[in-house]
Amino acid sequence: MPDPALYGLFVLAALALLAIPGPAVLYVVSQSIEGGRRAGLVSTLGVHCGTLVHVTAAAIGLSSLLVSSARLYDAVRYAGAVYLVFLGIRTLLGRTGDEPQAMEVDARRRLVRGATVQILNPKTALFFFAFLPQFVDTDAGSVGLQILVLGITFMLLGLVSDGAYALAAGTLASRLRGSRRAANVSRYVSGSILIGLGALAAVSGRRQA
C-alpha cells in the first residue's frame, strides 16, 4: 500500500488537477448538453471505465510500450481523434426528438462511447505513466499494487468531479429542452465540442523526443 503521507499528498495533487477542466470534462459536458443529466452521468461512468483500463495498464507496465513507441502512440492518437470527429458529425447531422431511443440502449451506447473515447486517448496513459510513480514508495511493497491504488483513487475522484459537471450541464440543458430552437442549438454545441476535441487531439499530441 502507498505510504500514508505520500497518499495524502497525492489526493491533494489529484484534486488540484481535477479542478482544471480537461478533454474528459468537455466530452461529458457535450453529452450532457445533448442528452441531459442521465446521458452525462452515464458518459462519465464510461469515461472512467476507460480510465480504469489505463490504470490497469500502468500497473502492469503496458503504458511503457505506448510511451516508447512513437508509431503506436500516433496510431492510437489518430484513431481517437477520428472517433471524436465521427461522433461530432453524427451529432450535428442527427435529429432531435424525432426518434427517441430506448433508455437502456442509449445508456449502453453512451457508456461504450465514453470508455472508447478515454481508451483511445494516449495522453491519459502518458499522464498516469508520468504522474503516479511520483507518489510510489519503493520500500512500501509492490510498486504495481501502489500504482493501482493511486490510479483507482484518481479515477474515483474524477468520477465525482466529472459527475458534478455532468449534473450542472445536464440541468441547464433540461431547462432549455422544451424549446425546439434551444434543442437545435444544444445539438450544434455538443457536436462542435466533439469535433473540436478530435481536431485538438490530432494536432496537439506530438511528443517531445
Tens digit of pLDDT at every position of the chain (209 positions): 667 888 888 999 999 888 888 888 889 998 898 888 899 999 999 999 999 999 998 888 766 666 667 777 677 778 878 887 888 888 788 754 444 455 566 888 899 999 998 998 877 887 888 788 888 877 777 778 888 999 999 999 999 999 999 999 888 877 766 556 656 666 777 778 878 877 876 776 554 43
- Residue 179: inside a domain, yes or no? yes
Return d(Cα 119, Cα 26) in angstroms, integer: 16
Q: What is the pTM of this model?
A: 0.75
Domain count, the chain: 1
Domain ranges, residue 95: 25-203
- Residue 17: inside a domain, yes or no? no
- Number of neighbours of residue 203 by Cβ within 10 angstroms: 9
Residues sharing a CB contact under 8 Å with residue 178, sequence separation 6 or more, in sequence order: none
- Residue 11: inside a domain, yes or no? no
**What is the per-residue pLDDT for 97?**
44
Q: Please give the grid coordinates belonging to residue 35.
A: 442528452
- Residue 10: inside a domain, yes or no? no
- Residue 159: inside a domain, yes or no? yes
- Residue 209: inside a domain, yes or no? no
Q: Give how far Cα 118 sits from Cα of 45, 53, 141, 155, 179, Å.
A: 11, 9, 29, 12, 32
Long-range contacts at 148-153 (CB < 8 A, ≥ 24 apart): 148/55, 148/56, 148/59, 149/1, 149/2, 149/7, 150/2, 150/7, 150/10, 151/51, 151/52, 151/54, 151/55, 151/56, 151/58, 151/59, 152/52, 152/55, 153/7, 153/10, 153/11, 153/14
- Residue 1: inside a domain, yes or no? no
- The SS3 of residue 20 is coil
- For residues 11 and 160, the answer to whether their CB atoms sit within 8 Å is no
**What is the per-residue pLDDT for 42?**
94
**What is the per-residue pLDDT for 57?**
87
- Residue 14: inside a domain, yes or no? no
